[in-house]
Amino acid sequence: MSEGKLLLVEDDHSLREALLDTLLLAQYECVDVCSAEDAIIKLKIESFDLVISDVQMEGIGGIGLLNYLQQNQAQVPVLLMTAYATIDNAVNAIKLGAVDYLAKPFAPEVLLNQVSRYLKPKIAQNMPIVADEKSLALLKLAEKVASSDASVMIMGPSGSGKEVLARYIHQNSSRDNGPFIAINCAAIPENMLEATLFGYEKGSFTGAYQACPGKFEQAQGGTLLLDEITEMDLSLQAKLLRVLQEREVERLGGRKSIKLNIRVLATSNRDLKAVVASGKFREDLYYRINVFPLTWPSLSQRPADILPLARHLLARHGAKSGLLELPSLDETACRRLLTHRWPGNVRELDNVIQRALILTNGEFIVGSDIILDTQEVHISQGPVEHPLHSSNKPAELDALGDELKAQEHVIILETLNMCQGSRKLVAEKLGISARTLRYKMAKMRDMGIEIPA
């Protein structure tokens, strides 16, 4: 399976936009066109690793495109989308060489599940950066536990790197070639979490137009991360426990048990024992999940990590903004970073570094470029020079464009923090539509910017 590029062909503008949003948010690299003819032009100049196309379009349509691919680029898998009325076309399409088809309307998960069979999302290689003795010891332990199949509970304060550690365990396990599926139990509304985890059969509830595999099934052969597991309600905890004990899952409205071959990791930023004692988390589930506990200390308790992490984040964000040379942290900046308490841990450091990259004179990041979360951001201190941008570009225009984009990113991140992640509120506050916000966030993710859940 490659981390390749996907070509989406759909003539219905709003459907194409919605599909694109779904694919971009899931971190797929995606190009969209509105006809089979345009698709062929694109295919002649760019290479793609998967084509998803509507069948019924003006011109040669999806079947014509499929024929073209069969004759010219037979290695590229094609997934066709059909309306119910043209199901016969779909059968024909499979005979002609399409790898599968999606009957409209379909849930986003159905699309993502199909796509994940052929492409991997562009996941940045999130290797944990560590230098402090405490973190080095934690990483060693994580490597040891990775080689077993034990359930792991990763604890630590918010933003400390729990998901990074979970990915590291997956990457160092024998399941490395399988999927890594993460689900944030706190971010999904309670009434949808069960269907998202367990999947459902067609017609099992209003709106279940088509059968949909759940996260358990999507993680087959790989690892499932249950992020913020303590936020799951008690009745769902009981169902989760049953799945973990029996190692099989039944979709909502389904009668068939599906055997599972998955490893489960979970994270929490709460004091687990206290949550169990308060009756909000089942004790039996606690023991089932907590086979091997790993805990990140807060960033202030592992000070030797701060500067290596800051430099790593500088390199990450600098590369994404196309900087040719990275500014270095001068002594005053280092001192400022080392003396802050970092209540928001690495995520807070990440925000600070993104701001510093906007404020820097280019060669050095100095103390005054380090704007901590407790301060107000004064970005509009007059024009900021960007001497590091490639000099053979139309420099002023490019720098201005990049700067505006960076400012937009900061504003979106700040507003997300202010609204505690509520997309609806953020869109209202910024005076843009929810769709535009989703699109902008997808682009930001694409650039490697972490968006708070």
Interacting residues toward ligand ATP by CB under 6 A: 126, 128-130, 156, 158-164, 227, 267, 269, 309, 312, 346-347, 350, 450
Instruction: For the CB of residue 410, give the shortest distance to ligand ATP in the complex, in Å.
Output: 15
Our CB check for ligand ATP shows the closer of 19 and 314 to be 314
Our CB check for ligand ATP shows the closer of 326 and 366 to be 326
Instruction: For the CB of residue 130, give the shortest distance to ligand ATP in the complex, in Å.
Output: 6
Our CB check for ligand ATP shows the closer of 164 and 411 to be 164
Our CB check for ligand ATP shows the closer of 148 and 184 to be 184
Task: Report how far residue 19's alpha carbon sits from residue 106's, in angstroms, rounded to the nearest whole number.
Answer: 10
CA distances from 55 to 39, 64, 75, 81, 321 (A): 13, 9, 20, 6, 38
Our CB check for ligand ATP shows the closer of 83 and 304 to be 304
- Report the residue number whose CB is nearest to ligand ATP: 161
HSE at residue 254, side-chain half, CA atoms within 13 A, is: 20
Our CB check for ligand ATP shows the closer of 315 and 434 to be 315
Closest Cα partner for 253 from 217, 220, 210? 210
CB crowding 400-421: b at 16 or more within 10 Å, else e: eebbeebeebbebbebbbebee
Look at strands 328-329 and 364-365 and give their pairing. Answer: parallel
Task: Report how far residue 93's alpha carbon sits from residue 426's, in angstroms, rounded to the nearest whole number.
Answer: 43
Instruction: For the CB of residue 448, give the shortest distance to ligand ATP in the complex, in Å.
Output: 8
Instruction: For the CB of residue 347, give the shortest distance to ligand ATP in the complex, in Å.
Output: 4
Instruction: For the CB of residue 413, give the shortest distance to ligand ATP in the complex, in Å.
Output: 11
Our CB check for ligand ATP shows the closer of 269 and 360 to be 269
Instruction: For the CB of residue 343, give the shortest distance to ligand ATP in the complex, in Å.
Output: 12
Our CB check for ligand ATP shows the closer of 54 and 163 to be 163
Instruction: For the CB of residue 215, give the shortest distance to ligand ATP in the complex, in Å.
Output: 17
Closest Cα partner for 2 from 130, 120, 138, 126? 120
Our CB check for ligand ATP shows the closer of 35 and 230 to be 230
Instruction: For the CB of residue 446, give the shortest distance to ligand ATP in the complex, in Å.
Output: 14
Instruction: For the CB of residue 129, give the shortest distance to ligand ATP in the complex, in Å.
Output: 4
CB 321 within 8 A of CB 402: yes
Instruction: For the CB of residue 355, give the shortest distance to ligand ATP in the complex, in Å.
Output: 15
| Residue 241: partners with Cβ closer than 8 Å, 6 or more residues away | 282, 284, 285, 288
Look at strands 152-155 and 78-83 and give their pairing. Answer: unpaired
Tokens at residue 256, please?
Answer: 């068939």
Task: Report how far residue 343's alpha carbon sits from residue 353's, in angstroms, rounded to the nearest whole number.
Answer: 15
Task: Report how far residue 377's alpha carbon sits from residue 291's, in angstroms, rounded to the nearest whole number.
Answer: 44
Closest Cα partner for 153 from 232, 227, 221? 227
Task: Report how far residue 317's alpha carbon sits from residue 12's, in angstroms, rounded to the nearest whole number.
Answer: 36
Our CB check for ligand ATP shows the closer of 35 and 151 to be 151
